[in-house]
Amino acid sequence: MIELPRRPRLRTRKGGHVDRDRSLTFRFDGRAYQGHPGDTLASALLAAGVRIVGRSFKYHRPRGIYTAGPEEPNALAGIGTGARATPNSKVTTVELHDGLVARSQNRWPSLALDLMCVNSALSRFLPAGFYYKTFMWPAAFWEKVYEPAIRRAAGLGRASALPDPDHYEACHAHCDVLVVGSGVAGLAAARAAGEAGARVILAEQDFLAGGGLLCEPGQEAWRQEALAALAALPNVTTTLRTTVFGYYEQNMLGALERVADHLPVPPAHQPRQRYWTIRAGEVVLATGADERLIAFPGNDRPGVMLAGAARTYARRFGVLAGSRAVLFANNDEAYGTLAALAEAGAERVTVVDPRPLGPAAAAARRQGFEVLAGHEVTGGHGGRGIYSVEARAIGSAGAFQIDADLLCVSGGYGPAIQLASQSRTAMRWDDRIAAFVPGDAPGQRSAGGARGCFGIAAAARDGLAAGQAAASAAGFAAKAAFALPEGDDPDATVAPFWEVRARGKSFVDLQHDVTTADIRLAHREGYRHIEHAKRYTTHAMATDQGKTGGLVGAAVLAEARGETVAVVGMPTYRPYVSPVTWGAVAGHHRGRAFAPIRRTMLHDWHARRGAEFMEAGLWLRPAFYARPGEAPWDAILREGRAVRQAVGICDVSTLGKIDVQGSDAATFLDRLYTNTFSTLPVGKARYGLMLREDGMVMDDGTTSRLAPDHFFVTTTTANAGRVMEHMEFHAQTVWPELDVQFASVTDQWASMSVAGPEARRTLAKVIAGLDISDAGLPFMGVADATLAGCPVRVFRISFSGELAFEVATPAGYALAVWEAILAAGAEFGIEPYGVEALGLLRIEKGHVAGAELNGQTTMRDVGLGKMAKKGDFVGKVLAGRPGLTDPARPRLVGVRAVDRERQIRPGAHLVEPGSDRSLGWITSVTRSVEPGGWIGLAMLSGDADRHGQRLVAAFPLMNEAVEVEISSPHFVDPENARVRS
Amino acid sequence: MHRIDCPWCGPRDEAEFAYRGDATVRRPAHDAGIDAFYDYVYTRANPRGWHTEWWHHAGGCRQFVKVVRHTMTHEIAGTGKAGDSLPVPAE
Amino acid sequence: MTRYSAFGLLTKALGGHAGWGRAWRDPAPKPSYDVIIIGGGGHGLASAYYLAKEHGITNVAVLEKGPIGLGNTGRNTTIVRSNYLLPENNHFYEWSLKLWEGLEQDLNFNVMMSQRGVLNLFHSDAQKHAAARRGNSMRLIGVDAELLDREQVRAMVPLLDFDNARFPVMGGLLQRRGGTARHDAVAWGFARAADRLGVDIIQHCEVTGIRREGGRVTGVETTRGPIAAGKVGMAVAGNTSRVAAMAGLRLPIESHVLQAFVTEGLKPLVDTVVTFGAGHFYISQSDKGGLVFGGDLDGYNSYAQRGTLQMVEHVFAAGVSMMPCLSRLRVLRQWGGVMDMTMDGSPLICRTPVEGLYLNGGWCYGGFKATPGSGWCFAHTIAKDEPHRLNASMTIERFRDGRLMDERGVGPWPWAQ
């Protein structure tokens, strides 16, 4: 049983959109409170009498709840615990649920007693940009002393260090008309477009639709009817708890739906949040308007709140934010708060209005409210909650106190133009409402408060028109209109009133603690452009992006510059409209699902055989097959030895395979490869080298001619995609006149290399329909056959330097062919070998691979300069540039540790003994079977001249220096006799 | 997010395409010399404005689509097949 | 001009900070200068500063079309490092890093250079070998580098995914002297210091033409009238091709958009700069507490300073894959910068075919960290009419001659660099 503190009654007995019959228990800073379904954490805290909910960023001043929505600058809290802890949540947007746990932030040791508020006492020494002017001496102190202290003090909430247990999903949506915002304008627009027949999405960031209508009991029937009408239209989708955060090219909008944030944990199989990309034909921005603050000393105290927020708490949530209130406003719209507070039980509301007595003020007086026209508020007192408000007649020095526990502020309303400005719609300054107003753009229109059209009835008419126009632009004829809310629209004209000039800190950015004095200091120091002032002071850069005070800061700067706000402009609104959950946009592409895994058809066999797998791009390939208790190098050497001395089999299915056909296929390949394919006889294969047009080697592989107009090209595993695209580019755009077509058949064929002196005897046992003797299938021969009843294509090609056959079979037969060969080879001691042994064999043989063909090497560099033919091919001309033919370029050599047991490593640089000057570097290494000991390939300046020299393989990262002997890269069978045996 | 009207497949999302650069440069004759190939491979007008460029429909029909796109507004004025000559709007 | 110091801050505080004057003057353009630098970003301002400081050339104007420092100087992810493979790049960036290390005292402006370390993760043997080649190359020329194994990486950045990764972390290459700095402060600090030496920083003055006579530059046309100059240097990242075209030059450059992001402010979480090897992603935490991160180019020519959602999805996915605890954090803002990408991924600091006209551009991703070194070398090149040995290879001609500086062997595809 949780004992709840007794409090004065702050919750009204009826009205609003909370379910008083049910209670929800939640905790804030360890203490238990109760609220109701329909509450936000903010309304529940206010109802519980909690005034201080956070501390500010720089001065650690106590702060309360300032707004009732996502524009909240002050009231941030950490929500949830453990791995689900989410920092920096605006309590004004957190939907209350049973068991919710929240903690205040940026205070130490506690919210009530925050020792960091010493910053506030020192604040005169900490003006905007103070850190640019100090902390420079002594130089070493920045990282060690100053910066750690600043970092600890800065920041807001604390992140959980644990992996997020929830999941997220991404959805794509298409519609004719997207309506953003479900206030009266949005509802009218969505209904108009929907009734015209358009596919409509209505996105609302709140958990209830209606926007400002939720504070208008007199319009509740209309709201209900509009929602019912929308629900009845199958072509209209209304999505709540969905913030449209970004506006991108060609009417693509990004949105975030909080699917389960209002529940303790997401239900099984439900994401926590859903990321939407919405492709809209037409967009109606009905995002409403944001109320502005007024800068005056103490305008940040707990108990100061925007007037509209106080009204929302009273009307929507039935919470009285204060019983002795002052309303400080320069516009008629804000007077609506008076009745709301009175109805909710406020003892007294005093109006302070800087304007001369006007009709709204006169009406308020008639209703019995005290109105101080021509007055201004000069201060709010009280550290842990306002207890008195200081005011004075404008122009007089004599301030007086008004006893109060709530100070409602309204500096007027400005359209919420974040989305419109992201889409780069032109903005114009509207003197009437003293705000920037968006125009329309192709496929986009703003409606209602979002374009300065204030008042329920006016906004409804505007929304209806926008919805009809959008539907019409999307090709749907408008239907007869429906009834709209009626009523008098308040006079939206405001007398711009940005600041009260009085002694004390007047904030324009509450979260970042930016004051009017800071803005003026920036101006004095020459940071006069709005972007400079913003960056120098950090104004409007906090998590609320200056929705309540951005324009006020701009106005203070404008006054200092002696110009108008229209000229000075607003700080830029960058995406996002509201901060976006990182994980939601990442969706499912995380952890092991970050990228797909490609497995060959033989993967499961490899796994059963105990293969250790390694990554090769997206592929998983067997590195080696260790026997129980066998060390990796023992396994690799055993596999390598089997190939050199008996027979081995290796899964090479990952090599790229491209089928090339057409009457000009041979001509095409001639132009793409450095060597010639038009002279290749049918039934033969040839090694080929391909350059980029800049003359660097792009890829290598064997190409076989299966028919006069039919070739089969193989690529390296890594470059399969690039080579395919390279071919398509040249065939389609450079030589479209050539008759040639391509298909990637990498996944259609499995292939395996059978290599070693016993390879022929092994295969001969199981192959049918083909004579694989040297006469029947000579080196580089290609022929079809059957093996274990499966169709195969046999290539007599070798990467290992041994007698070898590559057997390709349609992927589905892979296992049958593989197992048949293994069985046939058993008597000869066949071993499957992995990528490591494959590397061992090719390094011994001096064949280049990805480590040498790394995009920085030419054909000559890798010892293949002779492969350049006389005629044209891609890369030929630029390969002749002086920098690419420079004899000083490093070229391929072999290296071998002088002490055979000393390990050499790739990435080591070759230097003369005692020198630090790099002459080259080692690209690949292996322990070897034939020469013995550690050998490798390297790129070395002066290549052939250095054969036989001793250099040092320097690896300073590990403090290693190993003496090596430079040689030809061909350690094994340089005459190439074995492959022809 | 760009939406590109593939002449073979219809309008498709940027995600299906891979950008492949300036489509106004043409490969010179093989005997044109290093300077001509230098221009072909390296130098670019790089306009701030309308740009005729290649987008490879890698996740679709695998055709190279020619696109006239504005590099400041990302607006697309037209798309065509590789051999098409597309009008470029005035600035 | 008031010198910045803690004492100054105290005394000015007692006067309500009314005593602070302009950080730099706001002069009208003179009819003629010895040197005009086009572009008031970090590189242009640094060039002017070093012209005055190192070469005694003070009759210098920096012309900026808008307010200074709001191009790429104010739109990057603030990383400073010198961990390059190719010696030409490595020597240059190392000199730049050395200038960074003394910049605050030199400029009398706290640019918050924070040597928190830059850690490049690797996830495969091939990546490990490339990192080793690079790290050894750094060490051989005297630059700090350390090769960390998986456990050393875990000790340094425990929040990485070591248990469930598609491409498990094998280790990392660490440069401890790398880190971050406050980007805006770099522009302001150089502006203030250059101004103090007599340089005119002229904002809202857009260059519309480059005047030449007989193959030699004579000045510039601007929106505030013609200005004569003996020498003109271009340092206009994001507009290099356009400004060079005013002098009839066609460059091996394409402009591409690169997006960057920052989260809401957090208490310290990520202590060093970490780059992911299994996808394009890098992250650091600012002094203010926001996690600053980015990824790869959007991949198409653009001057728009904004990107599309497709790359955002990739970057966010890479982020949570590298560090799963990022998932619940909220990203506050996203923006784009225009990268002038050269065809080999390395920059240009050089003379041009037009006598008296100099080019500083093509910084790809390397611009911010290069700022002091770039200004220093550009000033030398302009003052002496020949490059310093540090930038001797950073010419336009290297493309024609095939002496490329392609760190990763990508080839002449700027969107892939």
Give the CATH number, domain containing residue C96: 3.50.50.60
**pLDDT value at residue C6:** 85
User: Does residue C279 sit in the same domain as residue C315?
Assistant: yes
Residue A441 to chain B, least CA–CA distance (Å):
13
> Residue C21: pLDDT band by 50, 70, 90 thresholds?
very high
pLDDT greater than 90 at residue A21: yes
Last residue in a domain, options A164, A197, A213: A164
**pLDDT value at residue A42:** 98
Query: What residues contact residue A720 under an 8 Å CB cut-off, 6+ apart?
Result: A655, A656, A657, A658, A744, A746
Residues of B in contact with A694 (CB under 8 A): 41
Averaged pLDDT, C243-253: 98
User: Does residue C160 sit in the same domain as residue C272?
Assistant: yes
Is C65 inside any structural domain?
yes
pLDDT greater than 60 at residue A132: yes
- HSE-up of residue A443 (Cα within 13 Å, Cβ side): 17
pLDDT greater than 90 at residue C337: yes
User: Does residue A101 sit in the same domain as residue A121?
Assistant: yes
Is B8 inside any structural domain?
yes
A914 near C CB under 8 A: no
Q: Does residue A642 sit in helix, strand or coil?
A: helix
User: Does residue A649 sit in the same domain as residue A690?
Assistant: no
Minimum CA–CA partner of A855 in chain C: C409
- HSE-up of residue C137 (Cα within 13 Å, Cβ side): 24
- HEC secondary structure over A192-244: HHHHCCCCEEEECCCCCCCHHHHHCHHHHHHHHHHHHHHHHCCCEEEECCEEE
A431: number of Cβ within 10 Å: 12
pLDDT greater than 90 at residue C17: no
By the 8 A CB rule, do C184 and C112 touch? no
Is A860 inside any structural domain?
no
Q: Give A220-244 pLDDT, tens digit per residue.
A: 999 999 999 999 999 999 999 999 9
Task: Find tokens 């250059």 and name the residue.
Answer: C194
Cα-based distances in Å from C250 to A160, A390, C253, C375, C396: 51, 66, 8, 23, 10
Q: Alpha-carbon distance A372 to A349, whole Å?
A: 11
- Considering CB atoms only, which of A250, A279, A734 is closest to B27? A734
Q: Alpha-carbon distance A217 to A12, whole Å?
A: 14
Any chains having at least 3 CB pairs less than 8 A from chain A are B, C
Residue B76 to chain A, least CA–CA distance (Å):
9
Q: Give A31-62 pLDDT, tens digit per residue.
A: 999 999 999 999 999 999 999 999 888 888 99
- Look at A249 and B2 and tell me if their CB atoms are within 8 Å: yes
Minimum CA–CA partner of A742 in chain B: B62
Mutation site, A172, A247, A732, A737, interface B, largest B CB count within 10 A? A732
Residues of A in contact with B25 (CB under 8 A): none
Is A869 inside any structural domain?
no
Is A753 inside any structural domain?
yes
**pLDDT value at residue A143:** 81
- HSE-up of residue A704 (Cα within 13 Å, Cβ side): 21
**pLDDT value at residue A898:** 97
Domain containing residue C227: 32-82+85-108+183-252+344-416
**pLDDT value at residue A50:** 94
Round the average pLDDT of chain A to a whole number and report it. 94
Is C334 inside any structural domain?
yes
Minimum CA–CA partner of C6 in chain A: A134
By C-alpha distance, which of A657, A647, A624, A605 is closest to A838?
A: A624
Counting DSSP H helices and E strands in chain B, the numbers are 1, 6
User: Does residue A557 sit in the same domain as residue A458?
Assistant: no
Burial classification of residue A968, based on how many CB atoms lie within 10 Å of its CB (0-12 exposed, 13-18 middle, 19 or more buried): middle
A151 near C CB under 8 A: yes
**pLDDT value at residue A2:** 45
**pLDDT value at residue C248:** 96
User: Does residue A262 sit in the same domain as residue A383?
Assistant: no
Residues of C in contact with A917 (CB under 8 A): 140
- Considering CB atoms only, which of C18, C110, C401 is closest to A136? C110
Q: Does residue C204 sit in helix, strand or coil?
A: coil
pLDDT greater than 90 at residue A107: no
Residue C353 to chain B, least CA–CA distance (Å):
15
* CATH code of the domain covering residue A759: 3.30.1360.120
- Look at C252 and B69 and tell me if their CB atoms are within 8 Å: no
Domain count, chain B: 1
pLDDT greater than 70 at residue A606: yes
pLDDT greater than 90 at residue A145: no
**pLDDT value at residue A493:** 86
By C-alpha distance, which of A202, A191, A176, A221 is closest to A286?
A: A202
**pLDDT value at residue A5:** 45
**pLDDT value at residue C1:** 59
**pLDDT value at residue A764:** 97
pLDDT greater than 90 at residue C401: yes
Q: Give A833-851 pLDDT, tens digit per residue.
A: 999 999 999 999 999 999 9
Any chains having at least 3 CB pairs less than 8 A from chain B are A, C
Give percent of chain C with pLDDT exceeding 70: 100
> Residue A972: pLDDT band by 50, 70, 90 thresholds?
very high
Mutation site, C255, C301, C359, C405, interface B, largest B CB count within 10 A? C301
Is C289 inside any structural domain?
yes
Residues of A in contact with C311 (CB under 8 A): none
> Residue A8: pLDDT band by 50, 70, 90 thresholds?
low
Domain count, chain C: 2
Averaged pLDDT, B30-40: 96
Residues of C in contact with B22 (CB under 8 A): 254, 301
pLDDT greater than 90 at residue A108: no
Burial classification of residue B84, based on how many CB atoms lie within 10 Å of its CB (0-12 exposed, 13-18 middle, 19 or more buried): exposed
- Look at C415 and B19 and tell me if their CB atoms are within 8 Å: yes
Residue A248 to chain B, least CA–CA distance (Å):
6
Q: Give A430-487 pLDDT, tens digit per residue.
A: 999 999 999 989 999 999 999 999 999 999 999 999 999 999 999 999 887 899 998 8
Averaged pLDDT, A796-815: 97
**pLDDT value at residue A4:** 46
ipTM of the complex in this document: 0.99
pLDDT greater than 80 at residue A89: yes
Size of interface B-C (CB pairs under 8 A): 73
Is C398 inside any structural domain?
yes
pLDDT greater than 80 at residue A112: no
User: Does residue A65 sit in the same domain as residue A77?
Assistant: yes
- Considering CB atoms only, which of B38, B62, B73 is closest to A728? B62
Domain count, chain A: 7
Residues of B in contact with A734 (CB under 8 A): 27
Averaged pLDDT, A200-214: 98
Is C21 inside any structural domain?
no
User: Does residue C246 sit in the same domain as residue C354?
Assistant: yes
* CATH code of the domain covering residue A951: 2.40.30.110
pLDDT greater than 90 at residue B91: no
Averaged pLDDT, B39-53: 98
Q: Alpha-carbon distance A855 to C406, whole Å?
A: 9
**pLDDT value at residue A836:** 98
Residue A871 to chain B, least CA–CA distance (Å):
8
Give percent of chain A with pLDDT exceeding 70: 99
Is B34 inside any structural domain?
yes
Structure tokens at A588: 């499912």
Q: Give A237-293 pLDDT, tens digit per residue.
A: 999 999 999 999 899 999 999 999 999 999 999 999 999 999 999 999 999 999 999
Averaged pLDDT, C334-349: 96
**pLDDT value at residue A1:** 39
Domain containing residue A109: 1-164
pLDDT greater than 70 at residue A899: yes
- Look at A163 and C123 and tell me if their CB atoms are within 8 Å: no
pLDDT greater than 80 at residue A590: yes
- Look at B19 and C299 and tell me if their CB atoms are within 8 Å: yes
Query: Higher confidence at residue A854 or residue A478?
Result: A854
- Look at C400 and B35 and tell me if their CB atoms are within 8 Å: yes
Structure tokens at C16: 């309500």
Averaged pLDDT, A808-830: 98
**pLDDT value at residue A677:** 97
pLDDT greater than 80 at residue C119: yes
Size of interface A-B (CB pairs under 8 A): 57
Domain containing residue B31: 3-80
